[in-house]
Amino acid sequence: MAPTSDSGRSPAPAVTRAAAILILLAERGQPVGLADIARALGVAKSSTLNLCLALEQADLVRKTEQGYALGRATVRLGGAFVREFDVVREFYRVCAEAPALQNELLQIAMLDGTDVLYLARHEGRAPLRLSASIGDRFPAAITAVGCALLADLDMDEVRRRFADPAALPRWTDRSVATVDRLTAKLEATRARGYALDDGETHPGIVGIAVAIPPRTSADQQLAIGVSLMTTPSDTDREHVVAALLDARAALTAPQLRTGPASSS
């Protein structure tokens, strides 16, 4: 996370720094000591302590023997954010009812800059520990869900977003590492109608994904993908793709697009 040395230009520097603490703790995924937090923010330990105490009072962080970690209130906030997506609520039902998908690992994700943010996960029969969990961020260029979403962007926009080489990390020797290779991969995604991650995120794991059309112009576009532990045959891949397309159709059905919001 970048230090917040420019927070003086923020309309509310304390809020900017508090947000930076929450992002840091989320990225680390484990307790972080006060000195490390202060160093990351580029501010004094005394100021950092005051921010952490205020966040602790709001239950946004909690203090442990190892340092500060995210608090329970962040779970409520994250749950409230996900509940805004009708598609996410329907995702679990669709996965459970699809014979070709119910035993597989499936996820829904949204695009965020050059990353994807995972919003939902259906475990299936054999969970993959290496695969993304809810709330994880992965590089979009190497994931199937990421490429399904990027393929809908103008290629000039893709080149702009990925102009920085740091946006194209190589997680395996198969990972796409240049903008030219990425745009070629996205053109292939458009041509075939689905995105493919053939060992780019983790060796030996194949990801297949399709984008879900937004219901309105104000909605965030999402993608649904499946992770497979073995390389599927051409026939098996066709079955998976067909099942994903059926799931997409179910998630954009007229009753879901126009139905009243759930009161539950």
Per-residue pLDDT of the chain (264 residues; tens, 9 = 90+): 444 445 557 888 899 999 999 989 988 888 999 999 999 999 999 999 999 999 999 999 999 999 999 888 887 777 666 555 578 778 888 998 888 898 899 999 999 999 999 988 998 876 566 678 888 899 999 999 999 999 999 999 999 999 999 999 999 999 999 999 999 999 999 999 999 999 999 998 999 999 998 877 667 889 999 998 877 888 888 999 999 999 999 888 654 444 444 433
pLDDT for position 126:
60
Tell me the Cα Rg of the chain. Answer: 20
DSSP 3-state of 165: helix
Sign of the Cα torsion 146, 151, 157, 162 reads positive
Secondary-structure percent of the chain, ordered helix, strand, coil, rounded to 5: 45, 15, 35
DSSP 8-class letter at 7 = G
Is the Cβ–Cβ distance between 159 and 179 less than 8 Å?
A: yes
pLDDT for position 72:
85
Half-sphere exposure of 56 (CA within 13 A, CB side): 13
pLDDT for position 83:
59
Q: Of 233, 253, 248, 219, whose CA–CA distance to 148 is shortest?
A: 248
| 134-140: long-range contacts, CB 8 A cutoff, minimum separation 24 | 134/82, 135/26, 135/78, 137/112, 138/201, 139/114, 139/115, 139/167, 139/168, 139/169, 139/171, 140/111, 140/114, 140/115, 140/116
Is the Cβ–Cβ distance between 123 and 105 less than 8 Å?
A: yes
Q: Identify the structural domains of the chain with CATH numbers, from first to last.
A: 7-75 (1.10.10.10), 84-258 (3.30.450.40)
pTM over 0.75: no
Helical segments of 106-178, H only: 144-150, 155-161
